[in-house]
Structure 1
Amino acid sequence: MDNSKIIIREANKEDCDQIVKLIQELADFEKMPNGPKIDAKTLRRDGFGEEKMFRCLVAADGDNLVAYALYFFNYSTWEGVNVYLEDLYVTPTYRHRGIGTTLWRKVAQVAVDRKCNRLDWVCLGWNKQSIDFYKSKGSINLTSQEDWNLFRLSGDNLRAFVNNTDKK
């Protein structure tokens, strides 16, 4: 397929309806179709409102978005400012054309330009093809290399903890 018409650019608030659809496609791919709880309005507020909570790059084929990379900055007390890549997704018909790698590289360039010390993300354990690809580019799996474990406190458990009504 011809990539000459694919444009990679910063997302804008008008893209949010299509980004939500891509987020749902990613959730379906990850076998978590009921995962996404946000809508385009939330994306517009959080990414393009007064306080920008994330940044996003998109790949467009004309007016159609075919891929996105959503990321944000975080802070490590060990290393300073870092970039966290929340999502990197390419629609199936546009895969194996270098679009995902280009988006990933552009996010990495943001990290380098901002003098960040690292770029972090998670990958599902069953996604061996992606894991092997990431490793081939010099990435390390922190779970196997350093025994870091990812934890989450959410929903009712989060609220119970805040209200000191957790059962433990």
Structure 2
Amino acid sequence: MMAAKPETIQASYVVRGGRREDCDELLRLIWELADHEGTLQKPTITNEILLEDAFGERPNLHFFVVELEDNGVSRKRMLMGFAAMNSFVTDIFDGRHSMLCGLYIDEGHRGNGLGRALMKAVCKTCLDLGVGSLDFDVKMNNQRARHFYSSLGVTNNTETKGWEYWTFHDTNMNKFSSEPECLNGVNTQL
């Protein structure tokens, strides 16, 4: 008598827009992304901020998620990845552009085309919003991500335009904005 073959478990994924009820799982994935990147700065986003900014009256964040349907035993669905983008900002030179805030796939589910599927959802949303460009940053030592984005046709502006990426953090903004006016005759009325 032949032994029965082990059952092959086929993963089933759905890429969809994020929902309010995804917030706890999204926060888990955001923390996993921070750990994966090895950043010293940990996420400061909270469930309340996520609910307001992504699912409130005037959302500015769009989330797309990869949902894994369990193998049929518990039928529990779990999030295995996400992409997040801002709606858009208007630049005086370039018009509307959006910022990709994060893209992450759980390590055990990489290599299945999920990142590409999430990026397609992001790109389609950008185009629907009339956005002409999608900006984001990639750690210089993350060769896998750099290769991935390059394979999609993304331009590395550091190499082609020579622009640096700068950040004005809230601590320094507070310090700067509370300094007394330094120019004679300037009356700031805000």
TM score, norm. by length of structure 1: 0.90
Residue equivalent to 2:13: 6
Higher Cα Rg: structure 1 or 2?
2
Aligned mate of 1:66, from 69, 80, 88: 80
TM score, norm. by length of structure 2: 0.81
Question: Taking structure 1 as reference, are residues 34 and 121 closer, same or farther at Cα in structure 2, changes over 3 Å only?
Answer: closer
Residue equivalent to 2:186: none
Between the two proteins, the alignment pairs up a number of residues equal to 164
- Taking the aligned partners of 2:36 and 2:66, their CA distance within structure 1 comes to 19
Residue equivalent to 2:73: none
Question: Taking structure 1 as reference, are residues 151 and 34 closer, same or farther at Cα in structure 2, changes over 3 Å only?
Answer: closer
CA shift at 1:137, angstroms?
A: 2.3
2:107 paired with 1:92? yes
Consecutive unaligned residues in structure 1, runs of 5 or more: none
- Taking the aligned partners of 2:113 and 2:178, their CA distance within structure 1 comes to 47
Q: Secondary structure at the match of 1:103?
A: helix
Residue equivalent to 2:46: 39
Question: Taking structure 1 as reference, are residues 143 and 56 closer, same or farther at Cα in structure 2, changes over 3 Å only?
Answer: same
Q: Give the superposed CA RMSD.
A: 1.6
- Higher-helix-fraction structure: 1
Consecutive unaligned residues in structure 2, runs of 5 or more: 1-8, 70-76, 181-190
In structure 1, give the amino acid aligned to 2:46. D
Q: Secondary structure at the match of 1:96?
A: coil
The percentage of aligned residue pairs carrying the same residue is: 27
2:122 paired with 1:107? yes
